[in-house]
Structure 1
Amino acid sequence: MTAAVHDTARAGGGEFVLAPARFLVTARERGADPAYYMRDEAGWQPTSWQDYAAQVQQAARALVALGVQPGQAVCILGFNRPEWVIMDLAAMMVGAVAAGIYWTSAPGEVEYIIRHSGGVILLAEDDTQWAKLQESRSRLPGLRRVVMMKGTAATDSLQMDWDAFLALGTREHQPEVDRRLSALRPDDLGTLIYTSGTTGMPKAVMLSHGTLAWTGMALAKAFGTTPADRLISYLPLAHVAEQLGAIHNHVAIGYRLYFARSLEALRDHLTEVRPTVFFGVPRVWEKIHAGIAGKLDAATDFKAVLAAWALSVGRRWHEQVLQGREPGGWLNLQKAWASRLVYDKVKAALGMDQARLLISAAAPIAPETLRFFTGLDLLIREGYGQSEACGPTTVSLAGSTRIGSVGKPLAGTEVRIAPDGEIQVRGPHVFQGYLGMPEDTAQTLVDGWLQSGDLGHFDVDGYLYVSGRKKDLLITSGGKNISPANLEAELMDLPLVEHGIVCGDGRHFLTALLTLKPDALETFLQAHGVQGLDMAVACRHPLVLAELQKGIDDINRHQARVAWIRKFTVLPEPLSIDTGALTATMKIKRKVVLERHREAVEAMYRD
């Protein structure tokens, strides 16, 4: 293996407290301070750390009462709620293994995860999630109870409502909880993260208690997290990144956590909570970008001039800072004026006026989107990682951020580039393997190095750049290898485009499938005097096709000729989680989309 290894001094080499025990320490230290908030009609209602600890201890006793043994799986299915994290912590506290299931999962996926993990208890959110078990109950003989978070009273012998579940635990069960907590070791399995599965059924990533605790503390140290921070929990808790923020970092540091009511309510929550730390997948940032860009495009006269000036100032100021240069007195003065006239108002309207850390991860984001936000004095720091590395591999920090790069290796880890360009990772955050899949584990963990499956390179200053997935490489009929990821990110940065899928494997040129943003499409057509068209007609309007071609021509100008997109087709319907085209973290399931629209792809190569 060649290529330089980018290593940092190993952090956290001493003793560290595992998450369940650390949680109790934090609860004692924080006492009556708010731990988490739930939103009701009257506003955000707090629960203190001491009450939070009592809830987790009660749930742990109830699991003991139900006969849950160390090593057995407790599955959790539903949107983000306190019951989700309470059950997760309680399961770890008694030596059981939490296994989250995406709330968008189809019944077959729910059955698969319960059966594959050996789940003996399922915590389900409501009747909608309970209904996913109706067909598979007879095929899950090991499932003892389904505990309901909310919704309806238990009407089935398998069901039990949350209060009835908690009532099972008594003080007589506390010594056993204490014994199991004391018996936990760093190498014990702490949780199962089922990958979101862009191809086939998900794999179960095994993360130990030690890995979870180490990663939580390493991230907290990297980002300077404190009890004064505020975080909104809205991304799927079955995903490792959300678990780090809502569970492991939360219990290690003791900041305030706010549970979103729904994804649709996030915009309102942001202005109410004003988080100090906000994590968004690229589609979240792109939607915010589109909303702001639409308002800027609608501005006229003085407001339009002011907005253009402020965007220019912000971009130039941040460009200087990110390159390690002093912006200078005149640019600093302009930025101060722009803050008072524009930036402060925009940040307040977004609910990001108190945010000190904005993060994008989980999928590629177009550099131009990030540069747009710097024009509003919002610096989004990109990170990179995978479930198999407990979330983070590289992070972008203050003083070490470059747009287009995903940062530098997390302190205490090693990252290297294999001769074929694959990113490989080693460190205390790397997983134990895939549950029940020794062959897959052996292929992914080689001599302690995680084979990420991603392609990338380091620049001379040690910043990592990710160029795509090995398995997604397009090999043209001329033998050229092309990674579609960056091309797709640029396509999705076009104002009208919501999703872009580049095609061309085994072909003599590249093409693309596009879906459009309904709001942006309507605004564009209205600006050109066209109204009243349905989506299927509007997305193929000659003005729209010309605008898309113009954007693709701009993308092609800075690509090698072999990477030019020669043709495109606009799909009339959006890609969605419900149709199976997107994962729960909004990544495109490439094979699903290409198979579903095979004829549209073939037509581009026939014409």
Structure 2
Amino acid sequence: MTTPITDDALALQRLYHWEANAPDKVAFTQPMGGGVVRDYTWREVCDQARRMATHLQGLGVQPGDRVAIISKNTAHWMMSDFAIWLAGAVSVPLYPTLAPTTIAQILEHSGSKVLFVGKLDGWEHMKPGVPAGLPCISHPLSPDDAKKSYPQWDAIVAKAAPLQGHPVRGADDLSTIMYTSGTTGTPKGVMHTFGNFARAVYRGLERIPLNDRSRMLSYLPLSHVVERALVEHGQLATGMRVYFAESLDTFTQDLQRARPTVFFSVPRLWVKFQRGVLHKMPEKKLELFLKIPILSGIVRKKILTALGLDQCQFAAAGAAPMPVELLQWYSRIGLNIAEGYGMTENIGASHITLGDPADFGTVGTPYRDVECRIAPDTGEIQVRCPWTMTGYYKQPELTAETITPDGWLKTGDKGTIDAKNRLRITGRVKDLFKTSKGKYVAPAPIEDKLVMHAAIEACCVTGANLGQPLGLVMLSAEAAQQAATPAGKAELEASLAEHLKAVNATLDPHEQMDCLVVMTEAWTVDNDLITPTFKVKRNKIEDAFAAQYARWESAGKPVVWHTR
């Protein structure tokens, strides 16, 4: 039976709670650049949000209007969201890495009335996507061009009077429209209410140890549903302290400053952390140290302290599959990583493990109030819960295709459920391909093995109608540098050939790859080959490279280099 949500658990009511009961407690710690760090108390956060809400209403923003935010994660991202809610409006977050055409598409489709422009790289490239005449407001950390072009946050809040009272947004009120394209198609506007977030977050808190003493580092885009739920709504629920990251270059210092008690990351970044450790300490040496009783504890503590994770009580991964080998490696250094599963359409809150090594390879059991089934005809995972989206904005036909009449969300993922009710993801329903020999290949498990090579940043196993599959791999920045010299390229090629041989030895004959095709051009959000959370867009890879598959297959080499 679903537990009803009470009004005092909703986001704005939680904001008022901290404003009244912990006004001097630090809510946000924000690096301002140049070594300067600024703390914001709940009193300051609420005062600035109330003043900005007054300004939005002065611009003509009406209840239910959409107001967009494009920015990296900052204290002002969160304050903007609070101001939008206070003004009665609906927030539309945009990923801070989008192409201008996608920015234009989302702003126009959502009918956004105002745009907050915050901390961004490449604003010059993005700016043409902003429709002419759309009112914009620049954050304190926005690019200089935005500060010159648009009214500035600090000047606005200095003049505006704070919104009075405690406007109420009910459980059924629309809170946000989150645009997601997933790995296919154009962006779809996922609609979530305040009640949806509250229900999902309070169920999540039954498994994730957040409280008023917790610390989190916010760096994955707040435009992604997990960061939004875990960091923003998790903070409103618990009063924890949120630290923001300054940049990739300062990420180590940012982690050291926050010393997070709960830390969430996508698999690609967990891989980067692992490679950083192994760059300083070769794997054979590390494994030897970990076998020596007293020394092993010292080494584990030293590694976790260097990562800034020595006080981490709960580490988690999601948004893409986490290779079991990687989970096992972290477990050996003393960090058991929980793996979660969900979609934007259900606030990312469907299943989660608790970091028990016995659960590695699964995404655990459903949260309370979540039902899960496997469609008998397709093997598709389908989920039903009280926080499923209300639908796709302005797309009722697509909503009807995605949610069954009795409320089951079609995930598009394939999976199995074991005797302990744990869910195992086996791939995407549409990712299966058939070789010319008539054999079906599931690429995801093979990709989990391929990506464990230190030189491989991302990969895609493909090969519909070929004799054998191919592995397309994108090099890490370090490996791309190595490949720039003839000697480095030869060494890398030999290492990749050995890796291919080792991976193929674990596969059935029809799954074994003919070769690895090394991409020398990065797959990026800009060239539309990956999503903002680093998932490979398989259909875009096919469109870009399928014409060359037969030539690569016939090359007769274990490693083939693709250059434009």
TM-score by length of 1: 0.85
Give yes or no for the alignment of 1:442 onto 2:397.
no
Query: How many angstroms apart in 2 are the aligned matches of 1:570 and 1:477?
Result: 23
Query: How many angstroms apart in 2 are the aligned matches of 1:119 and 1:132?
Result: 20
Q: Give the match for residue 186 of structure 1.
A: 171
Give yes or no for the alignment of 1:162 onto 2:153.
yes
Q: Give the match for residue 254 of structure 1.
A: 239
| One-letter amino acid of the structure 2 residue matched with residue 60 of structure 1 | A
| One-letter amino acid of the structure 2 residue matched with residue 308 of structure 1 | E
* CA drift at 1:357: 0.7
The 5-angstrom pairing of residues 569-588 of structure 1 reads 569-588=517-536
| One-letter amino acid of the structure 1 residue matched with residue 458 of structure 2 | H
| Gap regions ≥5 residues in structure 2 | 556-564
* 8 Å contact kept, 1:400–1:407: no
Query: How many angstroms apart in 2 are the aligned matches of 1:89 and 1:281?
Result: 26
Q: Give the match for residue 439 of structure 2.
A: 480
Query: How many angstroms apart in 2 are the aligned matches of 1:484 and 1:539?
Result: 29
| One-letter amino acid of the structure 2 residue matched with residue 438 of structure 1 | P
The 5-angstrom pairing of residues 27-176 of structure 1 reads 27-40=19-32, 41-42=34-35, 44-125=37-118, 131=124, 135=128, 143-149=134-140, 150-152=142-144, 159-167=150-158, 169-170=160-161, 173-174=163-164
* CA drift at 1:267: 2.0
> Aligned to 1:412, what secondary structure does the other structure show?
coil
Q: Give the match for residue 421 of structure 1.
A: 379
Greater CA deviation, 267-276 or 432-441?
267-276
**Count of residues paired in the alignment:** 551
* 8 Å contact kept, 2:375–2:381: yes
Query: How many angstroms apart in 1 are the aligned matches of 2:28 and 2:327?
Result: 31
> Aligned to 1:452, what secondary structure does the other structure show?
strand
* CA drift at 1:207: 0.7
What percent of counterpart residues are identical? 32
Query: How many angstroms apart in 2 are the aligned matches of 1:32 and 1:422?
Result: 49
| Gap regions ≥5 residues in structure 1 | 1-8, 314-333, 523-532
| One-letter amino acid of the structure 2 residue matched with residue 429 of structure 1 | W
Residues 443 and 298 (structure 1), Cα distance of their counterparts in 2 relative to 1, 3 Å cut:
closer
> Aligned to 1:465, what secondary structure does the other structure show?
strand
| One-letter amino acid of the structure 1 residue matched with residue 311 of structure 2 | Q
* CA drift at 1:130: 5.7
* CA drift at 1:598: 3.6
Q: Give the match for residue 542 of structure 2.
A: 594
TM-score by length of 2: 0.91
Query: How many angstroms apart in 1 are the aligned matches of 2:358 and 2:15?
Result: 32
Q: Residue 23 of structure 1: which of 10, 15, 37 is its match?
A: 15
Residues 484 and 114 (structure 1), Cα distance of their counterparts in 2 relative to 1, 3 Å cut:
same
Query: How many angstroms apart in 2 are the aligned matches of 1:598 and 1:144?
Result: 43
Query: How many angstroms apart in 2 are the aligned matches of 1:494 and 1:288?
Result: 14
Q: Give the match for residue 362 of structure 2.
A: 405
Give yes or no for the alignment of 1:465 onto 2:424.
yes
Q: Alpha-carbon deviations, 1:371-400, whole Å to 9, x = none? A: 111111111111111100111210112669
Residues 564 and 501 (structure 1), Cα distance of their counterparts in 2 relative to 1, 3 Å cut:
same
Query: How many angstroms apart in 2 are the aligned matches of 1:80 and 1:129?
Result: 15
Give yes or no for the alignment of 1:296 onto 2:281.
yes
* 8 Å contact kept, 2:314–2:337: yes
CA RMSD of superposed structures (Å) = 2.5
The 5-angstrom pairing of residues 270-281 of structure 1 reads 270-281=255-266
* CA drift at 1:38: 1.1
Q: Residue 308 of structure 1: which of 263, 278, 287 is its match?
A: 287
| One-letter amino acid of the structure 2 residue matched with residue 444 of structure 1 | T
* CA drift at 1:485: 1.4
> Aligned to 1:498, what secondary structure does the other structure show?
strand
* 8 Å contact kept, 1:406–1:463: yes
Q: Alpha-carbon deviations, 1:233-256, whole Å to 9, x = none? A: 111111111111331111110011
* 8 Å contact kept, 1:310–1:376: no
* CA drift at 1:573: 2.6
* CA drift at 1:79: 0.9
* 8 Å contact kept, 1:220–1:253: no
| One-letter amino acid of the structure 2 residue matched with residue 174 of structure 1 | Q
